[in-house]
Amino acid sequence: MTQSPTLSRRPASSTSPLPRKPRRRGADARAGYTFLLPWLLGFIALTVGPMISSLYLSFTNYNLFEPPKWIGLDNYTTLFQDERFLQSVGVTVGYVVFGTPLKLAAALAVAMLLNSKRRGQGFYRSAFYAPSLIGASVSIAIVWKAMFGDAGPVDQGLSFFGINLGGWVGNPAMTMPMFILLTVWQFGAPMVIFLAGLKQIPGELYEAASMDGAGPVRKFFNITWPMLSPVIFFNLLMETIHAFQIFASAYIISNGEGGPAGSTLFYTLYLYLRGFSDFRMGYASAMAWLLVVVVGIITLIFFRTSKSWVHYSGDSK
Amino acid sequence: MTTMATPTQSTTDTPAAYNPKSESVGAKRAKSVIFHAVALILTAIVLYPALWMIASSFKPNSEIGGQNTSLWSNNFSFDNFVTAMDGIGGVSTLQFFTNSLILALGAVVGTILSASVSAYAFARINFPGRSLFFGMMIATLLLPFHVVIIPQYIIFQQLGLVDTYVPLLIGKFLAGDAFFVFLMVQFMRGLPAELDEAARIDGAGHARIFRSIMLPLMKPALISTSIFSFIWSWNDFLGPLLYLNTPDKYPLPLALRLFVDQTQSSDYGAMIAMSVLALLPVLIFFLIFQRYIVEGVSTQGLKG
């Protein structure tokens, strides 16, 4: 990124380069909306419009072939008596609550391991990141299913230690740990973000702490954790929202049914089945809106509580 | 491998940990050995599923499950790939490849075109409503997209566009991935404002500034967007599952699912071989661009 020195007389902070004149303003408004046109069109036609109609549909019975019939809150009240729905909530919450913290803990631990000047860091970073790129693909879901299947390599490996589970895929008690391992395996994406955050922490802080006789545990809790808190917050928020939306692997591993015994009936899978197998579009819309509300509430709680533990240093953007 | 530094931050290895001077050379060496031992064990665990997949794709069916746990087989063969290339449902795997390629390249072109102009508006033009729209764009990053799939499906169904690639591509041409718009906005904000200023004094309009100044400077962001939008489109499953219903239009993930449904337990080897084929471009991309992909993630907060 070379930049001719004669150009950089003033600091590069302002986004509106010229002193505003009324004429310019009108031209800018026109240009602004012209350039924004693709996004604006998409936003209205593919996001706002559908959201409004999905809200409307959630109060109707609609099967795609007959006109929607207004039924008020029926979909919502039925949901809470629907055992499969409640099961899908349980499955998803279990996955989010156990999978996300484990994944982030693994990401942070490995990031700290890699955050020192040693040979091969680039190789390790790339190797650990690779699963994040392929983890949600159908291919990996198939591999996971084969590896954790009856007499698969994982089973074989465990029987070496005298543990016999008889396959994870067909055992309702073991499917959740299998999915959690799948998400933890993809710790590379948050790890790389943690690494970038760790590099921003000034070494002098650790130096000073060492002089005062602080051990690694105190250094972690008094320096690393607070200094890294904005990055921890970002990763926690993104990974949580992300985890709620698991679909492809759930669909493939459970043959699109959520089995065995509904133990892999993730929320989005049940939404898909209701909407696109049973054609209960109104019901599925109600499910979608509940998901939006829940994710919205979680985001809000995260932002509210973050004030007490997330520290932004003065010079951050 | 070229290193394309972004203006936001460089990720060269700098030691953040403090090494007390009292540490002896021996202790340092021991620490280094422990570090590499731990890191290598972790690498082995993390890469094992991928290695197992590749190794199994060359093994005869009888050796994939059961007591055979070693990755290496003495009966190494390409038979599984030959079977996998035959395809399924009367459609050859080459056709699925072509379909995936069309969708992925379409996604790249659409995203680059639409996200870059939209990002220019957000980053460089001052117009009323900009911050409001920017906030909305950020909000869509957090929005579960399941809330829009049902109405979108209904719209495309009523337009008679189900079982075409239009529903899968139109969003890309309308800057549907807010993520990439955001990434480009952040990138452009890092470019010096004096560039536009000078061009404006010379009488250039926004179209010209965008085309002749911004686009060339945005190369790193455009490349990173292209890589990720290609890979995400290549791996996408839900979109094609919703919209496509004739096998000769299927991209690879959907073909793979069809393959699994029809071969279930009978031809494990071919199933794994096809999984490898479906991931091949992603693996190749990763090997070529790995350093850049990983740095792109750390500097822009991309998600895998």
Closest residue to A7, CB basis, from B121, B152, B195 = B195
Rg from Cα positions in chain B: 24
DSSP state of B192: -
For the question of whether the overall pTM of this predicted structure is more than 0.90, the answer is no
Is there a contact between A210 and B231 if contact means CB atoms under 8 Å apart? no
Confidence band, pLDDT 50/70/90 cuts, at residue A12: very low
CA dist B298 and B8 (Å) reads: 11
CB-based burial of residue A211 (10 Å sphere; 0-12 exposed, 13-18 middle, 19+ buried)?
exposed
pLDDT digits (tens, 9 = 90+) for B201-252: 888 889 999 999 999 999 989 999 999 999 999 999 999 999 999 999 999 9
pLDDT for B11 beyond 90: no
Contacts of residue A156 in chain B, CB cutoff 8 Å? 67, 69
The answer to whether residue B146 neighbours chain A at the CB level (below 8 Å) is yes
Q: What are phi and psi of B88, to 5 degrees?
A: -155, 150
Complex-level ipTM beyond the 0.95 threshold: no
Is A166 within 8 Å of A150 (Cβ atoms)? Answer: yes
pLDDT for B59 beyond 90: no
Nearest CA in chain A to B176: A42
Per-residue pLDDT at B299: 75
Nearest CA in chain A to B175: A39
Is there a contact between B253 and A186 if contact means CB atoms under 8 Å apart? no
Per-residue pLDDT at B303: 62
CA dist B142 and A291 (Å) reads: 12
Chain B, window 200-229: residues with a beta carbon less than 8 angstroms from a chain A beta carbon: 200, 205-207, 210, 217
CB-based burial of residue B113 (10 Å sphere; 0-12 exposed, 13-18 middle, 19+ buried)?
middle
pLDDT digits (tens, 9 = 90+) for A240-298: 999 999 999 999 999 888 888 999 999 999 999 999 999 999 999 999 999 999 999 99
Look at phi and psi of residue B181 and say left if phi exceeds 0, alpha if psi is from -120 to 50, else beta. alpha
Is B108 within 8 Å of A23 (Cβ atoms)? Answer: no
- Please tell me the total number of residues recorded for chain B in this structure: 304
In total, the C-beta contacts within 8 angstroms joining chain A to chain B are 330
Burial A213-233 (b: 16+ CB within 10 A, else e): ebeeeebeeebbeebbbbbbb
CA dist B105 and B251 (Å) reads: 12
Query: Between these two residues, A316 and A242, which has the higher pLDDT value?
Result: A242
- Other C-beta atoms closer than 10 Å to the C-beta of A262 total 18
Residues 6+ apart with CB under 8 A from B210: A35, B116, B117, B120, B124
Confidence band, pLDDT 50/70/90 cuts, at residue A98: very high
Q: How far is B232 from chain A (nearest CA, A)?
A: 8
pLDDT digits (tens, 9 = 90+) for B187-206: 999 999 888 888 988 888 89
CA dist A276 and B266 (Å) reads: 29
CA dist B138 and B291 (Å) reads: 27
Is A146 within 8 Å of B268 (Cβ atoms)? Answer: yes
Query: Between these two residues, A34 and B8, which has the higher pLDDT value?
Result: A34
- Other C-beta atoms closer than 10 Å to the C-beta of A89 total 21
Is B119 within 8 Å of B185 (Cβ atoms)? Answer: yes
Instruction: Name which of B43, B96, B150 to mutate to probe chain A: the one with the most chain A Cβ atoms within 10 A of its Cβ.
Output: B150
pLDDT for A17 beyond 70: no
Q: Which residue has the tokens 């404006």?
A: B200
CA dist B106 and A295 (Å) reads: 31
Q: How far is CA B115 from the centre of its chain?
A: 16
List the structure tokens of B98: 């072509």
Which three-class secondary structure state does DSSP give residue B91? Answer: strand
Is there a contact between A131 and B49 if contact means CB atoms under 8 Å apart? yes
The answer to whether residue B3 neighbours chain A at the CB level (below 8 Å) is no
Residues 6+ apart with CB under 8 A from A48: none
Q: What is the DSSP string of A54-82?
A: HHHHTTEE--SSS--EE-TTHHHHHHTT-
- Other C-beta atoms closer than 10 Å to the C-beta of A306 total 17
Contacts of residue B290 in chain A, CB cutoff 8 Å? 126, 129-130
Which three-class secondary structure state does DSSP give residue B88? Answer: strand
Closest alpha carbon to A24 in B131, B119, B201? B201
